[in-house]
Amino acid sequence: MGSYTNYEIIIVDNDLSQNSVVAVSGLLDELPCMRLIRLSRQYTYDIAIIAGLEGAIGDYAVVTNPAIDDIEDVMSIVEANKKHDIVQGVADITTKRLLSKSGIGRRLFYWYNRKYINIDIPLQATYLISLNRRAIRAITLSTRHDSHIRHMIRTIGYSYTEYTYSPLVDPVKKHGFGRGTLEALDIITSHSTHPLRFMSWVGFFASVVNMAYAIYVVVIAFTKKNVAEGWVSTSLELSGMFFILFLFMVILSEYIGKILVESRRDARYYVLDELSSTTSLANAERKNIAS
């Protein structure tokens, strides 16, 4: 970080191993401008990012994972951030996972975001993100419990650009089908009422079909004699109606659950401890009056 006069490195302990915590704590006595924020338990990756952003005090903040992102890219993305409020890192590699079943699901998810939620996130978007002070304030002022940083930066309306780079390793997280589906459903229902509106239309058309079938039954009853029992059509109708009913209940329960979470007004996270370097200035000779 010799390129900057003043800086701060914030490490968020989101259920780090005890050995890692000890190692980082030891560095606080050796290196200046470091801070360790220890969360009380393991939260989602995005919540941990929000915790770090809320603790950032600089003009710019870069979200990065040293195991994935090169330090040179951190400095380059800050330069791009000087012209825009938000810079989103985008990997320039095509991973094999994008061709797998989970990769197809990932493509479908981002297509749905663009098509129906109006949130355009690059398919290869990573968690390397740089924000200026105005964007940080907008993100951290949100009281949403279901924070998804890559969606939030596309919804606040600030100037945005992409930074293409080569990660050190494959940045795509591997998810099982079940977990990936639940995460996608959580994100979609957090940022749009489209699923609920869609099911409303499905329910409307289902009711129209059901009413038409009822009219058909009445007409047949008055115009035909010796009508055969329509167990096939009846079973088909009932199974279709119950399928739509339970699908509607699934979507509705997701929204009810989110209303319950938001109404509790609980904190998004809790900080267990916060440790800082003994030296808080990179340049000890450059102090303000209060120092």
Does residue 147 sit in the same domain as residue 62? Answer: yes
Residue 282 has pLDDT above 60, yes or no: no
Residue 202 inside a domain? The answer is yes
Residue 30 has pLDDT above 80, yes or no: yes
Does residue 104 sit in the same domain as residue 63? Answer: yes
Mean pLDDT of 268-281: 84
pLDDT of residue 291: 36
pLDDT of residue 81: 96
List the structure tokens of 38: 């220890």
Mean pLDDT of 218-226: 72
Mean pLDDT of 102-111: 82
Does residue 107 sit in the same domain as residue 209? Answer: no
Cβ atoms of residues 106 and 98 within 8 Å: yes
Does residue 170 sit in the same domain as residue 47? Answer: yes
Nearest 10 degrees: Cα torsion 48, 143, 276, 283: 110
DSSP-assigned beta bridge partners for residue 39: 271
**What is the chain's alpha carbon radius of gyration, rounded to the nearest angstrom?**
26
Residue 137 vs residue 280, higher pLDDT: 137
Residue 180 inside a domain? The answer is no
Residue 237 inside a domain? The answer is yes
How many domains does the chain fold into?
A: 2
Integer Cα distance of 77 and 66 in angstroms: 14
Residue 160's SS3 state is strand
Does residue 62 sit in the same domain as residue 119? Answer: yes
Q: How many CA atoms lie within 13 A of 108 on its CB side?
A: 11
Residue 246's SS3 state is helix
Domain that includes residue 151, residue range: 42-175
